[in-house]
């Protein structure tokens, strides 16, 4: 296995570890270990498809694969056991305990998956050997696996003191380039010791408590009532909801929601990440705006109930055509979310201010009417029909 191939395997492990659902609060980033890599290669060189115990392998975790020479495929086949696994508030279920898994054609075990996503593991090393027409691929991990393999919660909200920093959803040591502090001060307003996320409550600062992470702080004037110093519990104002009071009730009630992911079998281990949205929007914005404008051209009273004149100043002629402006749609606050099935949901709303060009004179009533129209069943049905065609 070349150095480049080995590093690719390490990076694949990390991509899969940060993609678990539900999210992991305490998932460590894996780094390559020369020692583990040598042990893995020694195991592969034997061409024996059996686990190694004792001696240098004592206390280690190990995954084995016999088949093709593509090590990335081997890692994915270990991870695919996610389909036979469920993490819930009452515990974990795997294989036969979980109705023989969701897909009987897959192995009913979860052990390989547990090892790939074991939160406490910090190092990995892999090797492979061609053995009588097949390849034996071995990965060694600095510790074994258990159930549950990680603690569910917002990414990095449960990082240990040994790895208090956060990088792309994984817990990393102090000094890791590009990492951020995973802790946040709640009651006191001064965050110090950014490497460890400690709170300074000296002088005029009030007694200090902390949330697990920035991701669990209360928003929109929500009040934290959590009794524990390691957990936030938000009481939200009437107009907001969500575990962080991040959702505006009125805004989401009138939002146009776009969903990406659907009923793909592999959605649970290939969730659509939030980072995909900018590139998706660049491709979708022109046809979506045009489709909405086309519908409104023939249903103007529905689209703009408070406007009396159809506006064609943005390119239309005589009310027969119009193109919605980019400013007529925007992303809702906290409007990008990934569901428990890996589906990406994006909520689009009309501007808060009455600046919509589409509905004519830009009066308050015009903008308000258009905002409510975005969630109308008629528009949803029309856009759904266009997507299927």
**CATH code for the domain of 170:** 2.10.25.10
Residue identified by tokens 């109308």 is 376
Report whether the peptide linkage leading into residue 64 is cis, meaning its omega lies within 30 degrees of zero: no
pLDDT of residue 317: 37
Q: Which of 109, 141, 173 is the last residue of a domain?
A: 141
Q: Does 264 fall in a domain?
A: no
User: Could you give the 3-state DSSP secondary structure of residue 62?
Assistant: strand
The CATH number of the domain holding residue 71 is 3.40.33.10
pLDDT of residue 387: 56
Q: What is the dihedral sign for C-alpha 110, 215, 234, 192? A: positive
pLDDT of residue 81: 81
Q: Does 205 fall in a domain?
A: yes
Answer whether 133's CB lies under 8 Å from 165's CB: no
Question: Would you say residue 44 has pLDDT above 60?
Answer: yes
Residue identified by tokens 């795997």 is 94
Q: Does 62 fall in a domain?
A: yes
Statement to judge: residues 198 and 109 lie in one domain: no
Cβ partners under 8 Å of residue 59, min gap 6: 143, 144
Reported in sequence order, the residue ranges of 219-361 that DSSP labels E, i.e. its strands, are 223-224, 234-235, 240-241, 247-248, 256-260, 330-338, 344-349
Statement to judge: residues 39 and 84 lie in one domain: yes
Domains contained in the chain, number: 3
- Distance, in Å, from the CA atom of 153 to the CA atom of 203, rounded to the nearest integer, reads 33
Statement to judge: residues 43 and 132 lie in one domain: yes
Q: Which residues pair with 138 in a beta bridge?
A: 64, 127
Q: Does 317 fall in a domain?
A: no
Statement to judge: residues 8 and 126 lie in one domain: yes
- Distance, in Å, from the CA atom of 263 to the CA atom of 342, rounded to the nearest integer, reads 10
The DSSP output letter for 28 is B
- Distance, in Å, from the CA atom of 20 to the CA atom of 117, rounded to the nearest integer, reads 8
Host domain of residue 352: 274-306+323-386
- Distance, in Å, from the CA atom of 312 to the CA atom of 39, rounded to the nearest integer, reads 71
Statement to judge: residues 10 and 129 lie in one domain: yes
CA separation, residue 320 to residues 310, 312, 356 (Å): 9, 8, 19
**Secondary structure, 3-state, 65-102:** EEECCCHHHHHHHHHHHHHHEEEECCEEEEHHHHCCCC
Question: Would you say residue 372 has pLDDT above 70?
Answer: no
pLDDT per position as a tens digit, 272-329:
777 788 888 888 888 888 888 788 777 777 777 666 555 444 433 333 334 566 777 7
Q: Which of 107, 141, 175 is the last residue of a domain?
A: 141
Cβ partners under 8 Å of residue 147, min gap 6: 92, 94, 110, 114
Statement to judge: residues 127 and 13 lie in one domain: yes
Statement to judge: residues 119 and 10 lie in one domain: yes
For 32-36, 55-59, 197-201, which range has the lowest pLDDT when averaged over its residues? 197-201
Q: Give the gyration radius of the chain's Cα atoms.
A: 26
Q: Does 263 fall in a domain?
A: no
pLDDT of residue 339: 67
Q: Quick one: how far is CA 33 from the chain centroid?
A: 27
> Which is higher by pLDDT, 284 or 44?
44
Q: Does 334 fall in a domain?
A: yes
Q: Band of the pLDDT at 167, cuts 50, 70, 90? A: confident
pLDDT per position as a tens digit, 247-269:
888 777 778 888 877 544 444 44
Q: Which residues pair with 165 in a beta bridge?
A: 172, 181
Burial 22-38 (b: 16+ CB within 10 A, else e): ebbbbbbbbebbeebbe
Reported in sequence order, the residue ranges of 313-368 that DSSP labels E, i.e. its strands, are 330-338, 344-349
Statement to judge: residues 104 and 191 lie in one domain: no
- Distance, in Å, from the CA atom of 303 to the CA atom of 307, rounded to the nearest integer, reads 9
Q: Does 314 fall in a domain?
A: no
pLDDT of residue 190: 42
pLDDT per position as a tens digit, 209-234:
443 344 446 778 887 776 554 455 67
Residue 19, judged by CB atoms within 10 A of its CB (0-12, 13-18, 19+), counts as buried
Statement to judge: residues 8 and 137 lie in one domain: yes
Greatest Cα-to-Cα distance within the chain, rounded to the nearest angstrom: 84
The three-point CA angle 91-80-123 to 5° equals: 80
Closest CA to 378 of 292, 307, 310: 292
pLDDT of residue 312: 46
Statement to judge: residues 24 and 92 lie in one domain: yes
Statement to judge: residues 10 and 134 lie in one domain: yes
Most confident of 17-31, 175-189, 350-364: 17-31
How many Cβ atoms sit within 10 Å of the Cβ of residue 225?
10
Closest CA to 19 of 368, 364, 374, 338: 338
Cβ partners under 8 Å of residue 190, min gap 6: 199, 200, 201, 205
Q: Which residues pair with 67 in a beta bridge?
A: 135
Statement to judge: residues 294 and 380 lie in one domain: yes
Task: Name the strand (E) or helix (H) holding 114.
Answer: helix 111-116
Closest CA to 32 of 18, 51, 53, 12: 12
Task: Name the strand (E) or helix (H) holding 16.
Answer: helix 3-18
Q: Does 345 fall in a domain?
A: yes
């Amino acid at each position: 296995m070349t150095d480049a191939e080995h590093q690719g395997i390490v990076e694949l492990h990390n991509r899969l570890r940060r993609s678990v659902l539900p999210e992991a609060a305490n998932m460590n980033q894996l780094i390559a270990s020369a020692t583990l890599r040598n042990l893995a290669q020694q195991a592969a060189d034997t061409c024996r498809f059996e686990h190694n115990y004792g001696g240098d392998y004592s206390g280690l975790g190990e995954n084995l694969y016999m088949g093709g020479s593509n090590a990335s495929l081997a890692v994915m086949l270990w991870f695919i056991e996610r389909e036979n696994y469920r993490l819930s508030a009452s515990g974990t279920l795997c294989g036969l305990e979980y109705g023989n898994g969701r897909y009987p054609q897959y192995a009913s075990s979860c052990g390989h998956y547990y090892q790939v996503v074991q939160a406490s593991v910090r190092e990995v090393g892999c090797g492979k050997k061609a053995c009588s027409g097949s390849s034996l691929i071995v990965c060694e991990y600095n510790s074994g696996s258990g159930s549950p393999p990680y603690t569910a919660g917002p990414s990095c909200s449960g990082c240990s003191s040994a790895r208090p920093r956060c990088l792309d959803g994984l817990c990393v040591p102090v000094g890791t380039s590009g990492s951020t502090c995973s802790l946040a001060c709640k009651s006191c307003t001064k965050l110090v010791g950014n490497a460890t996320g400690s709170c300074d409550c000296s002088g005029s600062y009030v007694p200090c408590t902390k949330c697990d992470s920035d991701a669990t702080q209360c928003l929109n004037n929500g009040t934290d009532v959590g009794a524990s110093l390691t957990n936030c519990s938000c009481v939200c104002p009437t107009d907001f909801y969500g575990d962080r009071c991040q959702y505006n009730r009125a805004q989401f009630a009138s939002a146009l929601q776009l969903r990406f992911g659907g009923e793909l079998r592999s959605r649970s281990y290939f969730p659509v990440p939030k980072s995909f949205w900018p590139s998706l929007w660049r491709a979708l914005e022109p046809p979506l705006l045009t489709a909405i404008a086309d519908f409104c051209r023939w249903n103007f009273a529905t689209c703009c109930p408070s406007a009396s004149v159809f506006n064609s100043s943005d390119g239309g002629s005589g009310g027969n055509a119009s193109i919605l402006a980019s400013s007529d749609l925007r992303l809702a606050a906290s409007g990008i979310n990934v569901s428990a099935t890996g589906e990406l949901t994006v909520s689009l709303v009309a501007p808060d201010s009455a600046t919509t060009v589409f509905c004519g004179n830009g009066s308050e009533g015009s903008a308000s009417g258009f905002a409510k129209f975005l969630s109308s069943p008629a528009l949803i049905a029309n856009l759904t029909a266009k997507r299927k065609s």
